[in-house]
Amino acid sequence: MITNDARMTFTEHLGELRTRLIRSCAAILISFILCYIVHEQIFLLVAYPLSSLKSQGIIVDDSAATPVPGDPAAAQNQANPAPPKPAKEDPGKSPWTALNPMEPFVVQLKLSLYAGFILALPFVIYQLCAFIFPGLTPSERKVVRFLLIGSTVFVIFGVATAYFAVFPMVMPYLTTFVPPGVQVQLRMSETVSLILKGMLGFAIAFQFPMVVMILVYLGLLSPLTLRKYRRHAIVILAVASAAFTPPDPFSMIAMLVPLLFLYEISIWASVIMLRKREKAEAAAGAS
C-alpha cells in the first residue's frame, strides 16, 4: 500500500501520534469540565436504578420532612401536622450517607471524570482510527469498522440491561437478606462504585459475541465447534456471570440469560459470516 502516510518517516509518525494524543487529552479535559458543571444531574442519573428502593419504602428521604426556616408551607405543616405513617418492619430506612466531608466531593470528581471520558470517547476513537487506518488494507479497515460498531452496540445493550432491568430488580431483592434490627445505609462512594462496576461488568460480558466473531474470522472457532461445546459454554458463562454480578443467584441469572441468548445469536452470525466469506473467495477465484 503506497500512500503519503506509508512514506512518512518514523519521526513523522511519532509527531502525528503526539498530536492526536494531545487532542484526545484536551477533549477529555474539556468533557470533564463540562460534566463537572452538571455533576448533580449525573449523580441523579447514576442513582436512578435505586429509585425502586425509594418507591418501596426501603429508602426514606428525610429532607422533605425537614422544616425550612421562614417557609410558610413549613409553618403550616407544623401547625397542622400530618398523621404519622405506620412504621414498616423493613430495617433499611435511610437516605444517602457520607462518612467524611471529602466523600461527596470525591464522588463528584469520579463521576465527572467517568462521564467526561465517555463523552469524549467517540472523538478519541476517531483520532485512533485516523492514525491507524492509513496503514491498513481495505479489508482490514472493514473488519475494524465492524468491530467498532458491533462493540459499541453491545456495550450500549449491556449497560441498558443493567441500568433499566437488572439493578431495579436486584437492589430490593438484596435488602431482603438484611436481618431485623439492622439499618441499611447507602454510602455514596461504595454504592456509586457498585452501580458503575455493575454496568461495566455487563458491558464487558456483552462483548462475548464479538469475541466469538473474531475467533471465527481468524479460523480458531467454527459454528460446529460452538454447537458441540454448548454445554461447556453454559458453564463458563455461568461462572462469568457470577464473577461480574453481586453474590446472589438472582443477579447471576439476570446476566446469564442474556448471555445465553447472545451465544445462540453468535452461532448464527458466525454461519452467515462464513458463508459470505466463502462467496467472496469463490468470486475472487472465478475472476
Whether residue 65 is predicted with pLDDT greater than 70 in this model: the reply is: no
pLDDT digits (tens, 9 = 90+) for 2-32: 444 446 677 888 888 999 999 999 999 999 9
> Is residue 270 within 8 Å of residue 212, measured between CB atoms?
yes
pLDDT digits (tens, 9 = 90+) for 242-254: 887 766 677 788 8
pLDDT digits (tens, 9 = 90+) for 157-199: 989 988 988 888 887 777 777 777 777 778 889 889 988 988 8
pLDDT digits (tens, 9 = 90+) for 70-96: 555 545 555 555 554 444 433 334 468
Supply the pLDDT for residue 213.
83
Whether residue 55 is predicted with pLDDT greater than 80 in this model: the reply is: no
Alpha helices (H) in 133-185, listed in sequence order? 138-161, 167-174
Rounded Cα distance, 189 and 144, in Å: 37
pLDDT digits (tens, 9 = 90+) for 104-125: 999 999 999 999 999 999 999 9
> Is residue 92 within 8 Å of residue 59, measured between CB atoms?
yes
Supply the pLDDT for residue 2.
41
> Is residue 270 within 8 Å of residue 213, measured between CB atoms?
yes
Q: Provide the 8-state DSSP code for 64.
A: G
Angle between helices 188-205 and 249-286 in degrees, nearest 10:
30
Cell of 83: 398523621
Burial of 120 (0-12, 13-18, 19+ CB in 10 A): buried
> Is residue 117 within 8 Å of residue 31, measured between CB atoms?
yes
Whether residue 258 is predicted with pLDDT greater than 90 in this model: the reply is: no
| List of long-range contacts for 141-144, beta carbons under 8 Å, 24+ apart | 143/217
Rounded Cα distance, 269 and 221, in Å: 13
**248 phi-psi bin (left φ>0, alpha ψ -120 to 50, beta other):** beta
> Is residue 192 within 8 Å of residue 103, measured between CB atoms?
no
Question: How many beta carbons lie within 10 A of that of residue 198, not counting itself?
Answer: 22
> Is residue 61 within 8 Å of residue 54, measured between CB atoms?
yes
Q: What is the model's pTM? A: 0.74
Secondary structure of residue 20 in the 3-state scheme: helix
Band of the pLDDT at 210, cuts 50, 70, 90? confident
**Over the chain, what is the mean pLDDT?**
80
